[in-house]
Amino acid sequence: MQTEQELKKLVKEKYSSIAEQPREQNLSSCCGSGCCSDEVYNLMADDYAGLQGYNPDADLGLGCGLPTAFAKIKKGDVVIDLGSGAGNDCFVARAATGETGKVIGIDFTEKMIEQARANAEKLGYHNVEFRQGDIEYMPVSANIADVIVSNCVLNLVPNKFNVLKEVYRVLKPGGHFSISDIVLEGDLPAQLKSAAEMYAGCVSGAIQKQVYLELINATGFTNITLQKEKAIHIPDDILINYLSKDEIAILRSGNTGIYSITVYAEKPLEENACCAPGCC
């Protein structure tokens, strides 16, 4: 079993290389993990092309949902994107928050930050900034954000509860988040759970959907809503790298499901918060 620091190092190294991969390769693999299918199709990511603010240069094809489309961003909002990559969701959020708002992208890898900053400069955006940092220890002050978004990132973090506590700290009272992520129903085979590529590929780091929702509730968030859910099908020509044909057949016939979900939740106003971190 790898330690949290070893897993973080794995993710940082993998996503540094992903930053230099063609988008087409990311789209035909598990979150860009490199375990590419012989068929060219989109395993997890949704199509951003119809969203205002979308910029193809910033879309690495690494997401598993459209959180900014569900995030209820208003003009003038301060928005933070966790795991901002080359800036895709930040630029969509900027279109919604307008010139009077502000968007902050946080990413773990230097190469992603470099790409995002170059894209922002090319677009002439002066109210979008990118900060390198660990989302378990966000480089932002408390009570600063109206909205937090994230796309297929929390599953890459070993300690998801720490991230949720940081989301709570950084949101203003009454603020909210919309997060897309990969979750499970049923148990993955041990070979997938232990595979480094499947961890970097957003699969083996995923937790049970019910546990995921319970962590959000335990952090103190309210009005928890499942905004979207879709099943993820990992093709046999990826699974065969880890499982025998018989094991794939058992997985297909069992009760294990891999899902992309988009979850909304609100940080309560302080006078209503009975379970905020540190007060229980």
Q: How many CA atoms lie within 13 A of 108 on its CB side?
A: 23
Q: How many CA atoms lie within 13 A of 207 on its CB side?
A: 16
What CATH class does 4-272 carry?
A: alpha beta
Residue ranges covered by each domain of the chain: 4-272
Which is higher by pLDDT, 7 or 132? Answer: 132
Whether the predicted pLDDT of 239 surpasses 60:
yes
Q: Residue 234: name the closest of 206, 215, 263 by CA.
A: 206
Whether the predicted pLDDT of 41 surpasses 50:
no
**pLDDT score of 46:** 81
**pLDDT score of 196:** 62
Whether the predicted pLDDT of 222 surpasses 90:
yes
Which is higher by pLDDT, 176 or 206? Answer: 176
**Residue by residue, what is the 3-state secondary structure of the chain?**
CCCHHHHHHHHHHHHHHHCCCCHHHHHCCCCCCCCCCCCCCCCCCCCCCCCCCCCHHHCCCCCCCCHHHHCCCCCCCEEEEECCCCCHHHHHHHHHHCCCCEEEEEECCHHHHHHHHHHHHHHCCCCEEEEECCCCCCCCCCCCEEEEEEECCHHHCCCHHHHHHHHHHHEEEEEEEEEEEEEEECCCCHHHHCCHHHHHCCCCCCCEHHHHHHHHHHHCCEEEEEEEEEECCCCHHHHCCCCCHHHHHHHHHCCCEEEEEEEEEECCCHHHCCCCCCCC
Mean of the per-residue pLDDT values of the chain: 85
Which is higher by pLDDT, 7 or 191? Answer: 191
Per-residue pLDDT band at 235 (split at 50, 70, 90): confident
Whether the predicted pLDDT of 178 surpasses 80:
yes
Angle at 112 between CA 127 and CA 41, to 5 degrees: 110
Q: Which residues, listed in sequence order, are joined to residue 151 by a DSSP beta bridge?
A: 180
- Non-local (6+) Cβ contacts of 241 within 8 A are 35, 197
Q: Picking from 24-28, 71-75, 152-156, which range would have the lowest pLDDT averaged per residue?
A: 24-28
Place of tokens 């129903």: 185
> Please, are residues 149 and 65 in contact by the beta-carbon 8 Å criterion?
no
Q: Picking from 12-21, 30-39, 239-248, 262-271, which range would have the lowest pLDDT averaged per residue?
A: 30-39
Query: CA 68 to CA 167: how far, in whole Å?
Result: 16
Q: How many CA atoms lie within 13 A of 67 on its CB side?
A: 34
Whether the predicted pLDDT of 271 surpasses 50:
no
**pLDDT score of 40:** 32
Average pLDDT of 5-20? 71
**This model's pTM is above 0.95:** no
> Please, are residues 114 and 141 in contact by the beta-carbon 8 Å criterion?
no
Q: Quote the tokens at residue 276.
A: 């905020």
Average pLDDT of 9-28? 62
CB 137: neighbour CB atoms within 10 A? 9
Whether the predicted pLDDT of 198 surpasses 80:
no
